[in-house]
């Protein structure tokens, strides 16, 4: 009986026509961005084209000033008089050069302002067009959403739930917590097909999925709204104050930092560690970096061993001084420094923070 009600609900919800537009929206955003980049390139080239002759003209004037020489010391001048005349001459030359530079900079600034204004005018309709797209909420058809309920936390009365959303050419994974009361939990845990998903997504300026509304309807028309939605990760589980994802990332709920779940696995120079972190691409993120000493200290204090794998004791930090750099020792919770060309027992552990795709609170 409940399954019949759930099937009826699926038929009523159907596959909304607007969901078909999400691929077109992504395509349009990317086309707009290409047009914006092309405009930037063209206008930058135009600035260079117009500035070049102006700069050449004033450089020529400046060279003429440099060629002006002072008359040599006369036999009728004392050393003191000559030095005074040289100082006056240098002062006059300096004023002339300063005036030429000011005129040149003013001309170049005027050129830039005019071209920048024209660029803004041409960018404006494209930016408005993109903004209209990013305001839209795209409902995803039921047939394009698959989900799986995971662990049920009886204390918080919520399931871990993972999603896979497929829209023609685009696929996105998501994880969330699904609050369901205890009296219903066993039923839905055994019969997940009784839940009907309702997924809505939005896009950012790059045409990426950045936010969403995820909920479920039960056969009795009851609604369960997901919280703590994270795009880009399928499976999650909680560990103390951390959320561990199946995409090799770990989120610290307290600091908002996202860590790689393991270090680079070998001895490494500081500058190579910096490159390693900045070029790290796990989770689909591009803003990984070396951690600060404070961040490493907080990770150590939080108890990291169960969810972050370190293959040796010491992790480079971003802090440098001349040819040295600081590192944190996880074998005792201390910090030290070493030359940046040192590698012994030193590792790179990428971190990022402040811009992960997180919605709502992890309460």
Residue 237 has a pLDDT of: 65
CA 13 vs CA 9, 111, 199, 217, 221: distances in Å:
6, 57, 11, 10, 12
Residue 196 has a pLDDT of: 95
Q: Which residues touch 49 (CB under 8 Å, ≥6 apart)?
A: none
Domain 242-353: CATH superfamily is Mannose-Binding Protein A, subunit A (3.10.100.10)
CA 169 vs CA 18, 20, 23, 128: distances in Å:
16, 11, 7, 25
Residue 70 near residue 89 (C-beta atoms within 8 A): yes
Residue 251 has a pLDDT of: 86
3-state secondary structure 145-160: EEEEEEEEECCCCEEE
CA atoms within a 13 Å half-sphere pointing along the CA-CB vector of 362: 20
Residue 303 has a pLDDT of: 85
- Interatomic CA distance for residues 105 and 28, integer angstroms: 40
Q: Which of 284, 138, 283 is nearest to 214 (CA)?
A: 138
Low-confidence ranges of the chain (pLDDT < 50): 5-6, 9, 13-20, 354-363
Q: What CA dihedral angle connects 96, 97, 103 and 109, to 10 degrees? A: -160
Number of Cβ atoms within 10 Å of the Cβ of 25: 19
The single-letter DSSP state of residue 343 is -
Q: Which residues touch 31 (CB under 8 Å, ≥6 apart)?
A: none
Q: Using one digit for the tens of pLDDT, what is the confidence trace for 228-287?
A: 787 776 666 666 678 888 778 888 877 878 899 999 999 999 999 999 999 998 877 888
Residue 355 has a pLDDT of: 37
Q: Exposure string (b/e) for 142-155, b if CB count within 10 Å is 16 or more?
A: bebbebebbebeee
What are the extents of the domains in the chain? 1-135, 138-237, 242-353
- CA 148, distance to chain mean position in Å, is 28
Residue 357 has a pLDDT of: 39
Residue 242 has a pLDDT of: 82
- Where do the DSSP E strands lie in 180-226? 196-203, 209-217, 223-225
- Interatomic CA distance for residues 260 and 296, integer angstroms: 12
């Amino acid at each position: 009986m409940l399954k019949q009600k759930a099937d009826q609900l699926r038929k009523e919800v159907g596959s909304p026509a607007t969901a078909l537009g999400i691929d077109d929206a992504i395509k349009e955003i990317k086309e707009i961005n290409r047009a914006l980049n092309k405009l930037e390139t063209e206008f930058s080239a135009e600035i260079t084209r117009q500035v070049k002759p102006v700069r050449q003209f004033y450089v020529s004037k400046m060279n003429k000033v440099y060629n002006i020489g002072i008359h040599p010391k006369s036999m009728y001048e004392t050393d003191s008089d000559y030095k005074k005349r040289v100082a006056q001459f240098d002062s006059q030359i300096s004023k002339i050069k300063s005036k030429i530079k000011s005129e040149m900079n003013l001309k170049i600034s005027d050129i830039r302002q005019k071209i920048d204004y024209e660029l803004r005018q041409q960018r404006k309709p494209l930016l408005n067009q993109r903004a209209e797209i990013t305001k839209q909420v795209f409902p995803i058809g039921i047939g394009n959403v698959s989900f799986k309920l995971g662990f049920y936390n009886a204390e918080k009365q919520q399931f871990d739930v993972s999603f896979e959303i497929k829209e023609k050419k685009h696929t996105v994974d998501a994880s969330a917590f699904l609050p369901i009361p205890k009296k219903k939990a066993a039923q839905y845990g055994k019969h997940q097909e009784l839940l009907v998903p309702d997924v809505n997504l939005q896009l950012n300026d790059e045409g990426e999925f950045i936010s969403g509304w995820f909920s479920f309807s039960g056969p009795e028309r009851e609604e369960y709204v997901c919280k703590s939605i994270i795009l880009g990760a399928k499976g999650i589980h909680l560990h103390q104050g951390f959320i561990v994802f199946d995409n090799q990332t770990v989120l610290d709920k307290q600091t908002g930092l996202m860590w790689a779940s393991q270090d680079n696995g070998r001895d490494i120079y500081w500058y190579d560690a910096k490159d390693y972190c900045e070029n790290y691409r796990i989770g689909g993120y591009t803003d990984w970096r070396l951690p600060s000493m404070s961040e490493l200290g907080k990770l150590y204090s939080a108890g990291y061993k169960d969810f972050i794998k370190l293959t040796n004791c010491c992790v480079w930090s971003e802090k440098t001084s001349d040819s040295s750099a600081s590192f944190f020792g996880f074998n005792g919770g201390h910090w030290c420094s070493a030359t940046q060309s040192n590698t012994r027992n030193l590792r790179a552990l990428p971190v990022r923070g402040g811009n992960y795709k997180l919605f709502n609170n992890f309460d």
